[in-house]
């Protein structure tokens, strides 16, 4: 990897652009204007998920190899739910930099982190993964939760995070696999039809439909990106009836989103049964089942940057 010209060019790009290089020289307190974007439509569902499963998500973050006083990047931070938990691990002597391409998401993140007693050590930056405004070898750990699938290319994104990670530092990702992420007690015939319809719908609506199943590929992607000592853990978060308000909101939004995606790909008796199960006004609404059980599956994968990867960024001589 240390002799890969393409990789060297990727790493140099972060600080080679004149305006990015200038931002790098003034420390972490920077603001960059990204491409115009808006908070995605799934934000209410994601926010409810974060509230409903906060104990488990916080515990997942707690398994990361982070020490007090370290500097951590929260890449594609979204609503900022993970930044305060990362701040707890690095303590008052550390630093967390939360980055997202969407200014609207950063506004939500600032509100989320303002309640943390460690809010003062959390910095925000609007930037894309392709133009991270930091010098190489800046962070002890780079974290990306439930966002790798949404970035342009997973291996390239991991390499960009690798560039700004210190030698021996860690790149860590929490992801899911659409096929197994939310396990519900569907009738087996319905579930098989739902998953086939889901893949068909994603194939028709995305130029990279397999990115939604990235969870099963994480170890391979980490190795391709050049990470060593790869560790993988699987977490299962269980819920049973009666559901709490946040759990119900998340699962209702999940079923609504699923229906909007796949309903037209189902037909006949399967479509009728599916509609009854996902309709909150139906007497057969799945979430009203007194014996309901559901499980959410997440993967946390991390690896270390080899000490031999980093090269000094190419510096232009002053004019």
For residue 37, the model assigns a pLDDT of 55
Higher pLDDT, 209 or 319: 209
For residue 11, the model assigns a pLDDT of 53
Query: Do the Cβ atoms of 2 and 311 come closer than 8 Å?
Result: yes
pLDDT at 35 over 60: no
CA distance 19 to 30: 12
Report residue 157 CA to chain centroid gap: 12
pLDDT at 8 over 70: no
For residue 26, the model assigns a pLDDT of 29
CA distance 56 to 50: 9
pLDDT, tens digit (0-9, with 9 covering 90-100), for 50-107? 999 999 999 999 999 999 999 999 999 999 999 999 999 999 999 999 999 999 889 9
DSSP one-letter string for 84-153: HHHHHHH-TTSEEEEEES-HHHHHHHHHHHHTSTTGGGEEEEE--GGG--S-TT-EEEEEEES-GGGSS-
The answer to which of 32-41, 103-112, 214-223, 264-273 has the lowest mean pLDDT is: 32-41
Band of pLDDT at residue 16, cut at 50, 70 and 90: very low
For residue 189, how many other CB atoms are within 10 A of its CB?
11
Question: Taken in order 96, 102, 106, 108, is the CA torsion positive or negative?
Answer: negative
DSSP one-letter string for 157-182: HHHHHHHTEEEEEEEEEEE--TTTSE
pLDDT at 312 over 90: no
Higher pLDDT, 34 or 230: 230
pLDDT at 150 over 90: no
For residue 9, the model assigns a pLDDT of 45
Mean pLDDT of 36-43: 66
For residue 151, the model assigns a pLDDT of 87
With pLDDT > 70 as the criterion, what percentage of the chain qualifies? 84
CA distance 208 to 214: 11
Tell me the whole-structure pTM to 2 decimals.
0.85
Band of pLDDT at residue 263, cut at 50, 70 and 90: very high
Pairing of strands 122-126, 293-304: unpaired
Mean pLDDT of the chain: 87
CA distance 56 to 173: 15
CA distance 99 to 133: 10
Band of pLDDT at residue 17, cut at 50, 70 and 90: very low
pLDDT, tens digit (0-9, with 9 covering 90-100), for 278-301? 999 999 999 999 999 999 999 999
Band of pLDDT at residue 13, cut at 50, 70 and 90: very low
Distances (CA, A) of 89 to 28, 63, 72, 219, 235: 19, 10, 10, 25, 20
Query: Do the Cβ atoms of 52 and 247 come closer than 8 Å?
Result: yes
Band of pLDDT at residue 40, cut at 50, 70 and 90: low
For residue 42, the model assigns a pLDDT of 75
């Amino acid at each position: 990897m240390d002799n890969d010209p393409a990789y060297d060019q990727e790493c140099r790009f972060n600080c080679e652009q004149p305006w990015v290089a200038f931002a790098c020289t003034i420390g972490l307190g920077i603001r960059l204007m990204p491409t115009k974007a808006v908070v995605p439509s799934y934000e209410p569902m994601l926010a409810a998920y974060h509230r409903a499963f906060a104990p488990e998500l916080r515990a997942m973050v707690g398994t990361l190899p982070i020490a007090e006083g370290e500097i951590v990047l929260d890449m594609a931070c979204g609503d900022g739910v993970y930044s305060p938990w990362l701040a707890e691990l690095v303590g008052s002597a550390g630093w967390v930099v939360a980055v997202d391409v969407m200014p609207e998401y950063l506004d939500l993140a600032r509100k989320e982190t303002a309640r943390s007693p460690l809010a003062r050590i959390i910095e925000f930056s609007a930037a894309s993964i392709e133009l991270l405004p930091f010098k190489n070898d800046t962070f002890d750990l780079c974290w990306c939760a439930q966002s790798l699938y949404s970035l342009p290319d997973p291996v390239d994104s991991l390499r960009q995070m690798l560039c700004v990670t210190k030698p021996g530092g860690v790149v860590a990702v929490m992801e899911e696999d659409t096929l197994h992420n939310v396990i519900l007690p569907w009738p087996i015939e319905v579930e098989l039809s739902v998953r086939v319809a889901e893949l068909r719908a994603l194939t028709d609506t995305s130029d990279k439909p397999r990115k939604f199943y990235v969870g099963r590929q994480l170890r391979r992607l980490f190795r391709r990106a050049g990470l060593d000592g790869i560790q993988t853990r699987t977490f299962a978060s269980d819920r049973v009836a009666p559901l709490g308000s946040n759990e119900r909101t998340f699962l209702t939004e999940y079923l609504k989103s699923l229906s909007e995606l796949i309903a037209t790909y189902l037909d006949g008796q399967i479509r009728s049964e599916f509609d009854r199960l996902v309709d909150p006004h139906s007497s057969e609404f799945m979430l009203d089942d007194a014996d309901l059980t559901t499980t959410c599956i997440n993967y946390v994968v991390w690896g270390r940057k080899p000490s031999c990867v980093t090269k000094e960024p190419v510096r232009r001589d002053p004019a």
